Amino acid sequence: METIYGIGIDIVETRRVEASIRDYGERFLDRLFTPGERSYCESMHYAARHFAARFAAKEAIAKAFGTGIGTDLAWRDMEILRDGLGCPHVALSGRGALFAERTGIVEVKISLSHAEDYAAAHALALSRAD
């Protein structure tokens, strides 16, 4: 059985992410997104919408963890993947995986949404019930 460790939500203006990609290019993309995330987003017609959704997801996860982005959790410690049905899910690595292990977080559920102007995400961190 699991219990809720934390929840997080975030909304991002797509045009701000698009501007960061335009202004900072590879430096921005490499700092925030894994190669798998980049490959997926860049294959989409409106790539900025998909990058914005993943940006929002990472912010939502940081809120659910209660850490923010920094000491315990880096941008690329969280990877937003898709399963065989296209549903998003989270893979943790590095400091994010260590934090989850230390705090008993066993799963992070994620929901993404995006439209022309905004992308949003909700994260639910579940921990072992003791």
Task: Specify whether 89 is catalytic.
Answer: no
What is d(CA 76, CA 57) in angstroms, rounded to the nearest whole number? 12
What is d(CA 33, CA 127) in angstroms, rounded to the nearest whole number? 25
What is d(CA 13, CA 33) in angstroms, rounded to the nearest whole number? 17
Residue 122, φ and ψ in degrees, nearest 5: -130, 135
Three-state SS for 11? strand
Three-state SS for 120? strand
Q: Which of 50, 58, 114, 122 is catalytic?
A: 114
Rounded-to-5 percentages of helix, strand, coil across the chain? 45, 35, 20
What is d(CA 59, CA 72) in angstroms, rounded to the nearest whole number? 13
Q: Which of 50, 63, 89, 122 is catalytic?
A: 63
Task: Specify whether 114 is catalytic.
Answer: yes
**Which residues are part of the catalytic machinery?**
63, 114
